[in-house]
Structures are given as C-alpha cells and as structure tokens.
Chains A and B, each alone.
Chain A
Amino acid sequence: DTEVTQTPKHLVMGMTNKKSLKCEQHMGHRAMYWYKQKAKKPPELMFVYSYEKLSINESVPSRFSPECPNSSLLNLHLHALQPEDSALYLCASSRVATGVTEAFFGQGTRLTVV
C-alpha cells in the first residue's frame, strides 16, 4: 500500500480566509513533504518534515504554515493568500528523509485563491 491521502481535493478561498490542507499516510513513513505545482511546471519543494520536525523550509512566505501533529499527519495552514498562490498542492511521504528512499505522492489539492 503506497497511499497518501489529501483533503480536500479542491478548495476555493478568498484572500482574507484561513483554511487548512490535510495529508495522511499509514505506511509508517517518517518523512513528509509539501510541494507546490503551477500549470506546466514541475513540483516545487516547500517543506520537509523528518521525524515530525521541520527540517527544510524553502524560504516559503509565512502565509503558508506547516504542521506535523504526528507521524501520520501533515497539515498546511493557509492565511491571507494571494491569487498567484493558486496551484496544485502536493503532499508526499517517504520511509525516511535520507537520500535513498522513494517518495509517494497524494492526489493533490487544487487551490484557487479569489
């Protein structure tokens, strides 16, 4: 089983709203990732969590706030977003955050900021 589940699948939010994206995996993976993907572009790394601790923040604006409450869950809290933040947000997980493990992606949340 290589399933990573993301909710919601689609989200429309206003620039003053606060919303959260959720990601869950039950594969016992200890590394989880958030990526952002714009149309016709590759996934762009935002955050890496390793053993529930933030290990990499790719200089993401503070209007994106990640949280890892436990080893199975990863959240991305959104506040005061801009229309240019509209994108597909992808969660992934891997066994550990080392250089030799495969990462599996969820189906993504398509976010539209209006």
Chain B
Amino acid sequence: QKEVEQNSGPLSVPEGAIASLNCTYSDRGSQSFFWYRQYSGKSPELIMSIYSNGDKEDGRFTAQLNKASQYVSLLIRDSQPSDSATYLCAVTFRVDSSYKLIFGSGTRLLVRP
C-alpha cells in the first residue's frame, strides 16, 4: 500500500514566524515530491516540487527532501495570514509503466495576526 503521511494539525503560528510542515512516504523508490496549497472550497495549487535530496528555495518557501529517511518538509518563512490553508504533500508512486500521484491527508495551517 502506497502511503503518504502528514500531521493533520491544525498548526497555529503567529504572523512573521516560520511554519514547518512535515510528510513521510512509504515507497523508497519514489522520485517526485510536491507541496500543494488548498484554500477552503478551492482546488489544490502547486507551490513547490523537489526531486533530489537537500533543500530547494522559492521565495518564502523552502522544500527539504531526505530520501534515506523518506521524509519531505516545507518551511514557510515570515508566515502571513494569507498563508492560512491546508497544505497537501503529494508523492509519485510507480505502478507498472505508469505513475500515481498520491496525496497525504493534509496539514491545516493557521497564521494568527
């Protein structure tokens, strides 16, 4: 069974703080890892992708990948109230000659003004 695990939260941080979101996955062979943001009633929006071990930074967002530990994280610096949303970790799993993109249950982030 291919699984992606996240803490459901809510994770509550004050405005301006760093929010740290974590994700683990079950398949050691997975190659592609994504973070999506989903506001209530809206569709998921891709915010970060990461494919190799280490850190990847894009503006206030940093994705971190550790394949040996099967662990992905997302850091949001200088958190803003507008960052309040559910953050979905997604991982690709190979199935025969095709791939599935499987989502974790999501972590709800609340940024307090």
Contacts and interface: CB of A to CB of B under 8 A. Distances in A.
B98 A100 contact: no
A92 B100 CA distance: 12
B31 A48 contact: no
B43 A99 contact: no
A96 to B, nearest CB: 9
A102 interface: yes
Contact of A48 (B46, B49, B98): B98
Contact of A101 (B32, B97, B105, B106): B32
Nearest to B88: A42
Name the residue in B34, B43, B95 with the highest tally of chain A Cβ atoms < 10 Å from its Cβ: B43
B34 A102 contact: yes
Given A42-B105, A99-B31, A100-B32, A105 B45 contact: yes
A41 B31 CA distance: 24
Interface string A49-82: 0100001100000000000000000000000000
A49 to B, nearest CB: 10
Given A105-B43, A105-B45, A99 B32 contact: yes
B61 interface: no
A56 B102 CA distance: 13
Interface in A30-50: 33, 41-45, 48, 50
Given A42-B88, A42-B104, A42-B106, A99 B99 contact: yes
Interface of B: 30-32, 34, 36, 42-46, 49, 51, 88, 90, 92, 94-95, 97-106
Interface of A: 2, 33, 41-45, 48, 50, 55-56, 88, 90, 92, 94, 97-108
Which 6 A-B pairs have CB atoms at the shortest separation, nearest pair first?
A: A42-B103, A55-B98, A99-B92, A99-B31, A105-B43, A108-B43
19 contacts: A42-B88, A42-B103, A45-B100, A48-B99, A56-B95, A56-B100, A90-B43, A90-B44, A92-B101, A99-B30, A99-B92, A99-B94, A100-B31, A100-B51, A100-B92, A105-B43, A105-B45, A108-B42, A108-B43
